[in-house]
Structures are given as C-alpha cells and as structure tokens.
Amino acid sequence: MRERVTIRKTWLSEKNDNVKHLFAIGTQNIELENYETLQSEQAKFKDLLLLPKLRDAYGTLTKKVSQSFQRIYDLYDFDYLLKVDDDSFVVLHKLLVNLDTWEAKGYRKELYWGFFNGKAQVKRLGAWKETEWNLCDHYLPYAVGGGYVLSYNLVKYIAINADSLRLFNSEDVSVGLWLSALANIERRHDIRFDTEYRSRGCSNEYLITHKQSTESMKALHDHYTMTGNLCSKEFSSRMSYQYNWTVPPSQCCVRKAGMI
C-alpha cells in the first residue's frame, strides 16, 4: 500500500482527464482484514483493479498481467495502455506528449513501445527460471517489464486470446512472445525507458525510471516539480544501447558509453 500512496502523491498527482490509472491486485485467498482494508481504499480512491481469481505473488505476475488486460478490455475504452511496475517513476506529461506526437503523425501500425531486449538467455535458475521454454535458447524480442506501452488492439488481442496463450514466469517475456507473430506492429525501442531490472542512472531525458524506492520517488517528484528536470545530478551507472533491428536478435543490443 505504501507504494500506491507514494505514486498517487508523486507522478500521478497531476490530474489529467485523458488518463485512467489502476492498481491491479489479486484478492484470491487473502485474509478478511486485508480485503476490508482494500475495500476501504477502493471506496476512497476508486483506482483498484481487484482480481478475485488471482493469488497475488511473484509467481503469478504473468497471470496478473493477462487477467488485468482482460478486465481493462472489458471495462474501459482506451487508445493506449501503459503497464508499469509500482517501483517505476513516470514523467507522465512527457509520455503523453510523445503519444500525441505519434498520433499526429498518422501511423497506422499498432504500437509496442519500450526498451527492448532480443538477446536475453533463457533463465534456468532463480526466481524467474523457465522450465517450459522450449522455443529457442534465447527469449524472443520483448520490451522489458519496468514499463511499456501497448496500443488498444494489442491489448485486445491478448485479452481475447488469453485462455489460449502460454504463460511463462516473466510477464514481459510472455507479452513479447504473445505479440511475436502479429503483423503491423511498430516495436519502438526507446532509450528514455530506463526499465531494465536495475536502473541505468538518472537522465533528464528519461520518461520512465525503474527500481525506485518510495523515498527516491518523492525526491524525483519534488525536483521535477521545482525545476522541470528529473535529476538533481545526471549520472550513468550502466551503459545503454540502440536496438539494431537489421541484424539477428542475438546481435541486437550492443551497449555503448555516452548513451542514456
């Protein structure tokens, strides 16, 4: 709950009539006291997407995304969906401006927008190990899970076909696989999405930055509100890359110094 409170007070605090935010929470088998607390929170904020058929745990994240997409498709009309972790900070105004620019250019392709990885090896150990992946020795290209954007028809496809789609431990890998066979998709790799498993640092160009504590979210929000810049000091802790779509995925992603 602390993360939700912080997000509401920071990057979601600027009201926008064109944006509907939802916090997805599985409620299967939760204690009555916790359920009543969620109901009180829902009555106050009306921004919880409660999933009664989901037990909320790390091992059910892919089910959570799938069920969330189904519920959102059933309940709402929308153009784009931003899936973002609760430890990601979003510069929402800039993200929306970029979507407006995309719309204004009249692109006819569906949008799959994030920071893509095409050469990730299949995990065989740890919390995210995949025992059922037998397609190849690497994951198919996917936008990493700290935050990514899907246009309406891509969410619709996943929602309608959810019962027939294979579920893997990593939700971002699963989404990449589900969409891999579809035509007419613009896979837009954007280095302004700092959405990998650890942050690459801080850049005033970032639209999303992942792995933020509640304290760092408050600091980022305060500094951005006062100065219009995200960072009190820009720095890089990890090199980035531009995705090369002209070569095989195993050669896609060469990290280079000097890139945000």
Q: Is residue 142 part of a domain?
A: yes
How confident is the model at residue 56, as a pLDDT? Answer: 92
Task: Report phi then psi at 4, rounded to 5.
Answer: -65, -40
Residues 171 and 64 sit within 8 Å (Cβ to Cβ): yes
How confident is the model at residue 58, as a pLDDT? Answer: 85
Residues 223 and 202 sit within 8 Å (Cβ to Cβ): no
Return the structure tokens found at 175: 């989404």
Q: Is residue 51 part of a domain?
A: no
Q: Is residue 35 part of a domain?
A: no
pLDDT < 70 regions, the chain? none
171-211 per-position pLDDT tens digit: 999 999 999 999 999 999 999 999 999 999 999 999 999 99
Q: Is residue 45 part of a domain?
A: no
Q: Is residue 40 part of a domain?
A: no
* Pick from 190, 203, 206, 191: nearest CA to 237: 203
Return the structure tokens found at 27: 């409620």
Q: Is 167 exposed, middle or buried (0-12, 13-18, 19+ CB in 10 A)?
A: middle
Number of independent structural domains in the chain: 1
Q: Is residue 19 part of a domain?
A: no
How confident is the model at residue 133, as a pLDDT? Answer: 84
- Please list the residues that pair with 81 across neighbouring strands: 150
How confident is the model at residue 196, as a pLDDT? Answer: 98
Q: Is residue 20 part of a domain?
A: no
127-160 per-position pLDDT tens digit: 777 887 888 889 999 999 999 999 999 999 999 9
Task: Report phi then psi at 29, rounded to 5.
Answer: 65, 20
The range of the structural domain enclosing residue 145 comes to 77-251
Residues 112 and 140 sit within 8 Å (Cβ to Cβ): no
Cα 217 to Cα 24, 88, 213, 214: the distances in Å are 20, 8, 6, 5
